[in-house]
């Protein structure tokens, strides 16, 4: 991609924007299992997980699908935490909707995980009644290819397209 930025996890050689995705069907079940029960796992392993992940700083545009509905997000990470604003078409309201969620960076045996929490309406700060938090998995595979996917709390998984942060 022409207007890409470096995605750094402690090393400048990692470039998230030159993605070579393996087939999603081969990994989505594994990723969904890795993200499931995230609250329980964070309580039990939070010290260990934080020690395994380098802090992440930056801003990225993310595009992915949930149930055939395209989601466009801006993810801002400041170390081990961040925020993400997501725009999507809400079928219940029959219009474009927006949610803001808290994001937390964790390491895992499956790769780097960015977990979403508390999706709220940014205007009212009230929890969104139907939106499932987004969770992301980033891996560098043994063959050198990259994998970046999302699985929400309902288990809907999708590959993620990454771009530079919208201005």
Do the domain assignments include residue 91? yes
| Predicted confidence (pLDDT) at residue 41 exceeds the cutoff of 80 | no
Do the domain assignments include residue 15? no
The range of the structural domain enclosing residue 127 comes to: 24-164
Hey, which residues does 113 pair with through a beta bridge? 106, 137
Do the domain assignments include residue 16? no
What pTM did the predictor assign? Answer: 0.69
The count of domains in the chain is 1
User: According to the model, what pLDDT value does residue 127 have?
Assistant: 97
pLDDT one-digit tens code per residue, 103-124:
999 988 888 899 999 999 999 9
Nearest-angstrom CA–CA distance, 13 and 100: 31
Do the domain assignments include residue 8? no
Nearest-angstrom CA–CA distance, 148 and 57: 17
SS3 call for 130? coil
Give the model's confidence band at 34: pLDDT under 50 very low, under 70 low, under 90 confident, else very high: very low
């Amino acid at each position: 991609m022409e207007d890409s930025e470096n995605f750094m996890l402690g090393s400048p050689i990692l470039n998230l924007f030159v993605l070579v995705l393996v087939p999603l069907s081969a990994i989505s079940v594994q990723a969904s299992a890795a993200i499931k029960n995230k609250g329980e796992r964070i309580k039990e392993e939070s010290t260990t997980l934080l020690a395994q992940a380098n802090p992440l700083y930056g801003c990225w545009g993310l595009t992915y699908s949930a149930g055939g509905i395209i989601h466009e997000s801006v993810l801002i990470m400041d170390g081990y935490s961040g925020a993400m604003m997501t725009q999507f078409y809400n079928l219940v309201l029959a219009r474009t909707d927006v949610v803001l969620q808290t994001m937390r960076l964790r390491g895992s045996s499956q790769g780097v995980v960015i977990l979403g929490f508390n999706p709220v309406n940014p205007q009212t700060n009230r929890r969104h009644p139907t939106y499932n938090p987004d969770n992301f998995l980033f891996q560098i595979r043994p063959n050198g290819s990259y994998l970046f996917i999302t699985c929400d709390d309902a288990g809907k998984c999708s590959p993620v397209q990454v771009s530079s942060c919208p201005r």
